[in-house]
Amino acid sequence: MRVPAPVERELGAAASTGTTKGSMMEVKIGVRSVHRELVIETELSPEQVEEEIRNALAVERGVVALTDVKGRRVLVPTSSLGFVEIGEDESRPVGFGGTL
């Protein structure tokens, strides 16, 4: 039995990221001559983000392309990269329960 195309793509995206739904990672990208950094929340693993960046850097006039959790694509030419910080998004406790 064949799975309809939209479900197939959704399953493929979830399987390829290796993350569970709701798990996000924050990527900060510093762009040369720009004072603010780009902050992207993605469902990709740190290894997948690093692989994407390495592949873009290996190509002459490469472009780093990442998709955030809302489906927006962010494209940055590698010639403009200042730095990339890859880190897990921390879940912060809410409320006053942790002040013992």
Is residue 17's pLDDT more than 90?
no
Establish if 14 belongs to a structural domain. no
Q: What is the largest CA-CA distance in the chain?
A: 56
Backbone angles phi, psi at 94, to 5 degrees: -115, 135
Alpha helices in 23-98 (DSSP H): 46-58
**Residue 68 structural domain:** 23-88
Establish if 12 belongs to a structural domain. no
Q: What is the pLDDT of residues 34-48, one digit of tens each?
A: 999 999 999 999 999
Q: Report the chain's terminal Cα–Cα distance, integer Å.
A: 56
Establish if 15 belongs to a structural domain. no
Establish if 95 belongs to a structural domain. no
Give Rg (Cα) of the chain: 17
This prediction has a pTM of 0.65
Number of domains, the chain? 1
Band (pLDDT 50/70/90 cuts) for residue 69 is very high
Higher-confidence position of 4 and 63: 63
Is residue 78's pLDDT more than 50?
yes
Q: Are 49 and 68 in contact (CB under 8 A)?
A: no
> What would the mean pLDDT of 77-97 be, rounded to a whole number?
79
Is residue 3's pLDDT more than 90?
no
